[in-house]
Amino acid sequence: MGNEFFSFCEFGLSWFMENSTPIITAQKLSKTYGSLKAVNAINFEILPGTCYGFLGPNGAGKTTVMRMIYCVTPLTSGRLTVNGENVMENMSAVKRGIGVVTQDDSLDYDLNVINNLLVYARYYDLTREQAVRRADELIEFFQLEEKRGENVRTLSGGMKRRLQIARALINKPSILILDEPSTGLDPQARHHVWSKCHELIEQGVTLLLTTHYMDEAEQLCDKIAVMDRGHIITEASPWDLIKSEVSPYVVEIRGDEAARNKILKAVVDQIDFHEALSDRLLLYTADAIPLHAHIQDMDIPVKTLLSRRSSLEDVFLKLTGRELID
Amino acid sequence: MRNKAPRVRVRAALRVWQRNATVYKRTWKLNILPNFFEPFLYLLGMGLGLGAYITEMEGMPYINFIAPGLLISSIMWGATLETTYNVFVKMNFDRIYDGILSTPINPKDLALGELFWGATRGTIYGSAFLSILFLFGMGLHWGILLIFPMIFIIGFMFATIGLLFTSMIKEIELFNYFFTLFLTPLFLFSGIFFPLSQLPQAVQIIAWFTPLYHGVELSRGIFNQVWGVELLGHFAWIIGLTLLNTLVVLRAIHKRLYN
Ligand SMILES: Nc1ncnc2c1ncn2[C@@H]1O[C@H](COP(=O)(O)OP(=O)(O)O)[C@@H](O)[C@H]1O
Ligand SMILES: [Mg+2]
């Protein structure tokens, strides 16, 4: 019995070890273009089967990090391993295990939908039968059956993105990289992409995404690295970030500056902290209802007064003093 | 940080070739027709028109003199068009390479694949041209079989030349210079229309350093069955330049696409 118990423990331990070994590890990862430090000595670890997000404004260095991971740009310095392989040593092996959805769509417009998948399968040396089977599965999974023989040009934005994700999955990668997967999509298409992402996470795929949308990061990511100007400012789960960096609720006030200042003066000892922006005032608090009521009672004319849950956007604002979408 | 560029792999290169072939297959019927008209027009205009005034050149009918050279120039146009404009568009406008390079295909594999494809396009141009020459009754002898591997090799050589230029430029307009200042002079001064022996010594020496000249001489020798050691010399020149240029261009494309 003792033996069985120990072997069970060993099993549990090895399971735990295996699952806590990062699938991607970056140490002092840097990329310089001329004098610009696009990525500046960042460290991160990504665990298998999780969704890891890089959140930051345009130019933060998100795409550059992705491009180093899938070996289309060399590191300037530092160390980066993917699936145990050094990206600077074994490019093809690293790329074989990664599916990539680039920020700007890189579909092959000279080919129709099904050939985009079949031709891509050849780059991974899939046999014809494997390719056809896999392509059919993916076309079904991403609901592109009706467009099978159509030219890629005729697809809507959402369909193109789905086809790109399908194409990235042709070789059953363990890691899927999505560089701004929902930028430029309408809300319906975004939700479709997100639901497919959730299904993929459930299937055990490690997802790596970049975004400058808070709701996207909150929806999908287990962990987020907030990036700004080549640095990772902070890294945590979305909820922990909100909890640790800002208060749970925000009361947001728009109106002329004098009115805003007057309100701030009156409530300043009732709030956790505030952000005075050019066009609005944000008051952070653990409980929005009494504060909201109190401001209403003051009868100071403002354009809008609203209370909401605080979001990653607020975290970003607090951390960098700047708004995220520029 | 420097790393060793991964070695080029022929199999990966052939994947890229296959991609281009898949695209070409869709429109080949439309694409290939002009390749037949072109030699027809040349032979009619130059051979019969000019030929009415210049009846003989180096002891052969004028049309027989120019045909082998025109064949090689058609390979040159076909292969270089492919590795200049078409590669440039795939690389910079259509983002096709962004898609390909995120798979196990590396930049050098991609470059070699495009060279194979450029050579293939050159071969298609050349074969169409050749078939018209056969129709005119030219080159109907067993020795002509040697021309087939030559067509591919010469196509490959010009593919490397086009791709090298493409790897160096950032603006598509610059191809105009390549075509008007490099290929057109080659076309005119490589002994296709008149023997170079008529030109000053200096021009002849310059010609020796240019690729089309050796192709034309090789082709004319094969067509007219003038077997001599000079043919081996021209062949060696072509092989030498092709190998050297392939090495250079693979590195250049790696540098361009992996940075
Ligand atoms: N190939 C390049 N050459 C020069 N600068 C570049 C290149 N690629 C990106 N950059 C610069 O690096 C910075 C980070 O870019 P990027 O990684 O694309 O940011 P993000 O994806 O977060 O918007 C930007 O300032 C960008 O202009
Ligand atoms: Mg980006």
Tens digit of each residue's pLDDT, chain A (326 residues): 444 444 444 444 445 545 579 999 999 999 999 999 999 999 999 999 999 999 988 899 999 999 999 999 999 999 999 999 999 999 999 999 999 999 999 999 999 999 999 999 999 999 999 999 999 999 999 999 999 999 999 999 999 999 999 999 999 999 999 999 988 888 898 999 999 999 999 999 999 999 888 788 888 999 999 999 999 999 999 888 888 888 889 999 999 999 999 999 999 999 999 988 888 999 999 899 999 999 999 989 999 999 998 888 888 888 877 766 55
The kind and range of the H/E element at A177 are strand A175-179
Residue A198 in domain:
yes
Could you tell me if A74 and A152 lie in one domain?
A: yes
Question: Read out DSSP for B175-235?
Answer: HHHIIIIIIHHHHHHSSSSS-GGGS-HHHHHHHHTSHHHHHHHHHHHHHTT---HHHHHHH
Sequence spans of domains, chain B: 10-258
Reported confidence tier of residue B238, pLDDT bands at 50, 70, 90:
very high
Q: Which ligand 1 atom is at minimum distance from the Cα of A56? A: 22
Pull the structure tokens for residue B251.
């590195």
Q: Across the interface, do A96 and B6 touch by the CB < 8 Å criterion?
A: no
Amino acid A325: pLDDT: 55
The total of other beta-carbon atoms located within 10 Å of residue B212's CB is 26
The total of other beta-carbon atoms located within 10 Å of residue B248's CB is 14
Could you tell me if A208 and A104 lie in one domain?
A: yes
**Is the model more confident about B54 or about A160?**
A160
Q: Is the pLDDT of residue B35 over 50?
A: yes
The span from the first CA to the last CA of chain A, in angstroms, equals 64
Contact A72, A96 (CB under 8 A): no
Residue with tokens 């990235």: A168
Could you tell me if A297 and A170 lie in one domain?
A: no
Amino acid B46: pLDDT: 80
Q: What is the mean pLDDT of residues B170-189?
A: 94
Amino acid B31: pLDDT: 83
In this complex, the residue of B2, B6, B100 whose CB is nearest that of residue A92 is B6
Give the CATH number of the domain where residue A186 resides. 3.40.50.300
Name the domain count of chain A: 2
- Interface confidence, given as ipTM, is 0.92
- Which domain does A221 fall in, by range? 23-239
Q: Across the interface, do B19 and A88 touch by the CB < 8 Å criterion?
A: no
In this complex, the residue of A91, A98, A106 whose CB is nearest that of residue B6 is A91
pLDDT > 90 in chain B, percent = 78
User: Ligand 1 site: residues with CB under 6 angstroms?
Assistant: A 33, 36, 38, 56, 58-64
Contact B228, B72 (CB under 8 A): no
The span from the first CA to the last CA of chain B, in angstroms, equals 11
Pull the structure tokens for residue A253.
């006030």
User: Where a domain ends, among A186, A218, A239?
Assistant: A239
Ligand found nearest the CA of A232: 1
**Is the model more confident about B30 or about A305?**
A305
Contact A28, A65 (CB under 8 A): no
Could you tell me if A302 and A221 lie in one domain?
A: no
Using CA positions, which residue lies closest to atom 4 of ligand 1? A33
Among candidate residues B155, B153, B137, B121, the one with its CA nearest the CA of residue B67: B137
Contact A52, A208 (CB under 8 A): yes
Amino acid A142: pLDDT: 95
Could you tell me if A225 and A255 lie in one domain?
A: no
Could you tell me if A138 and A230 lie in one domain?
A: yes
pLDDT > 70 in chain B, percent = 100
Phi, psi of A209 (to 5 degrees): -135, 155
Amino acid A323: pLDDT: 67
Q: Which of A31, A37, A63, A226 to mutate to test the pocket of ligand 1 (most atoms within 8 A of CB)?
A: A63
Contact A307, A252 (CB under 8 A): yes
Contact B108, B255 (CB under 8 A): no
The total of other beta-carbon atoms located within 10 Å of residue B208's CB is 11
Could you tell me if A125 and A271 lie in one domain?
A: no
Amino acid A100: pLDDT: 98
